[in-house]
Amino acid sequence: MTISMYTASAQAFERVLSNLANVLRKGADHAASHKIDDKVFLDARLYPDMFPLAAQVRIVTDFSRGFCARITGNEPEKWEDNETTFAELIARVDRTIEFLQTLKPEQFEGAETRQITRPYRGQPKVFTGTNYLRQLVVPNVYFHTVTAYAILRHNGVELGKADYLGELD
């Protein structure tokens, strides 16, 4: 049995993003119940040289929609990176999910071998669709999602592995 590029990307990212939105909602509830300004969490980092929570979420949304736009022959629209509240970050995640839901499996046909050129370590790198997804996009989507989760957990938000995984089919 083969897995389609649509299933491996748009559908998989939709699930990750939905779970991320739920994790962010728990963060927002925690901040509100403890009377902590959202900015404290959005600026939180696991280590000084790592990106803060807000950037982690932006990166997940940018990789998810960027891949799906590019692999279907489009460029993603540019979004401002100006979210300052949990509500705004959740809206960004929801907006990404809405974009992914507009895509059709047919748009991904032949995507495995499409060439995508992206900057990598300051140089243009040509990927096949499969390699772009497998080597760059999927690792980044999951890394930055789990880092967002870890930032919130580290800062006292009651989260567990089930929050990260979401409901299983």
Report helix, strand or coil for 115.
Answer: strand
Burial 4-22, CB ≥16 within 10 A → b, else e: ebbebbbebbbebbebbbb
Nearest to 152 by CA among 32, 21, 41, 18: 41
Q: Helix, strand, or coil here: 166?
A: coil
Superfamily of domain 5-165: dinb family like domain (1.20.120.450)
pLDDT digits (tens, 9 = 90+) for 28-68: 999 999 999 999 999 999 999 999 999 999 999 999 999 99
What integer pLDDT is reported at residue 2 of this predicted model?
Answer: 85
Angstrom CA distances, 54 to 59, 101, 109, 159, stand at: 9, 23, 33, 18
What's the DSSP call for residue 76?
P
Q: Is the pTM of this model over 0.85?
A: yes
Q: State the pLDDT at residue 131.
A: 96
What residues pair up with 118 in beta bridges, in sequence order? Answer: 125
Q: What is the pLDDT of residues 61-103, one digit of tens each?
A: 999 999 999 999 999 999 999 999 999 999 999 999 999 999 9
Q: Provide the token pair at 169.
A: 């089919």
- The domain locations on the chain are 5-165
User: Considering the chain, what percentage of its residues have pLDDT values greater than 70?
Assistant: 99
